[in-house]
Structure 1
């Protein structure tokens, strides 16, 4: 029997708890939900579990040259599933959308057209001195463009991971609900907001189950939406989210 699939909330440079949990629980896959910010190349930080790892980038992964180099420039860059679907060891299809919506490009919650439909259009309007690796400004490597959603909408997945939250969240985007339904996702999982709100009352209306994973938290979730909190997010208790978690890793140290 294969081990659990672990979904990891924004690590922000801390990875030891992820490695420990993945190892002790014999995880079949480890999914990072963005804002990785590794202090070393990602393949070095997570060398013990490289073969189990998939991730999407978050907004902070393009904050600095170092962050960009340690994520997009790492030997694990091909494990970034932004804009594509991969098959996990247990046969589940995992789709990914990294990054965030930025008003300079597009805010789908506003009734205004996007300024750019894709990165190529934006690149043409980017001053030469602001271009990064012959593309848009480094910051916009973590910006969502409309064509990325169009591209994903033609694919099918069982679980969709995003950095941004779908519409159930006060700071979420209903267009991600549309994306999940178009892709046939039964479950969506996101990071970014460092919280774990209960959206279960909306699941029937949405047509899928939705989960947030808190700051440096880890949750095991299967394709049917059965979830187990492995490590609570660091802000879960003060925000009122309490749930028993697996004893085997309860004393894990999340310091790097």
Structure 2
């Protein structure tokens, strides 16, 4: 087996999981990592039934996964719910992979600006009495919260997967690169922006952007397109 195929990274499916399924059948990876924005109408395992048992399936959430209760519950209450990588590190196919789902939201934290809230409890306590004891709305659940982001810097990993992009992309954030550097990662894979590219940021960290409905391997090769993501 091609060693670069032992883990595959799937760009935003937006309801179309066929490219990922075909890539798994072709490459037989030990694991796949999904980079968010699934647009689910039923539980995630229904879409991936053909490859469950063939490979490990890990994921992070994107902004689309919080757009409606159906999309949210189809992901977070699916049989694959425990395979979320958000805010944690797991050893997958011999590599330590960390995940950061969600997006930067102006009403919560939009770097380089300072965060508007210390944490979720700070935000909820600021609300009207009736709302203080309620759960966060889906919109706020989609946000990257500053305190959780900072806590990740104490973790160590080989690969960081994110929905948002680092500053390698024109719409990316330097904060993602700072997180990757603090964690000692060598590679960042991200979705969200629907572009295939590869670049290098500070501390020689390799970034691979994976476009929607595209699958990349550990080297940044697009395994369902037969070409490199892009040269630096």
| TM-score, length basis structure 1 | 0.81
- Report the counterpart of residue 215 of structure 1 in structure 2: 212
Stretches of structure 2 that go unaligned for 5 or more consecutive residues are none
1:106 and 2:78 correspond = no
- Partner Cα distance (2:128, 2:6) in 1: 46
Of 85, 90, 96, which aligns to 2:99? Answer: 96
Of 21, 24, 27, which aligns to 1:25? Answer: 27
RMSD of aligned residue pairs (Cα, Å): 2.3
Question: SS at the partner of 1:47?
Answer: coil
Distance 1:217 1:129, change over 3 A: farther
- Partner Cα distance (1:220, 1:207) in 2: 19
State the Cα distance separating 1:134 from its structure 2 match: 4.3
For the 8 Å contact 1:122–1:136, the answer to whether it is kept is: no
For the 8 Å contact 1:105–1:115, the answer to whether it is kept is: yes
4+ residue runs over 6 A deviation: 128-131
* Aligned counterparts, 1:117-156, within 5 A: 117-126=118-127, 134-156=134-156
For the 8 Å contact 1:181–1:207, the answer to whether it is kept is: no
Question: SS at the partner of 2:40?
Answer: coil
- Report the counterpart of residue 6 of structure 1 in structure 2: 8
1:243 and 2:227 correspond = yes
For the 8 Å contact 1:5–1:27, the answer to whether it is kept is: yes
- Report the counterpart of residue 67 of structure 2 in structure 1: 63
| TM-score, length basis structure 2 | 0.89
Structure whose residues are more often strand by fraction: 2
- Report the counterpart of residue 167 of structure 1 in structure 2: 167
- Partner Cα distance (1:15, 1:130) in 2: 38
After TM superposition, the structure 1 stretch with the greater mean CA deviation from structure 2, 72-81 or 15-24, is: 15-24
State the Cα distance separating 1:33 from its structure 2 match: 0.4
Question: SS at the partner of 1:49?
Answer: coil
State the Cα distance separating 1:14 from its structure 2 match: 0.9
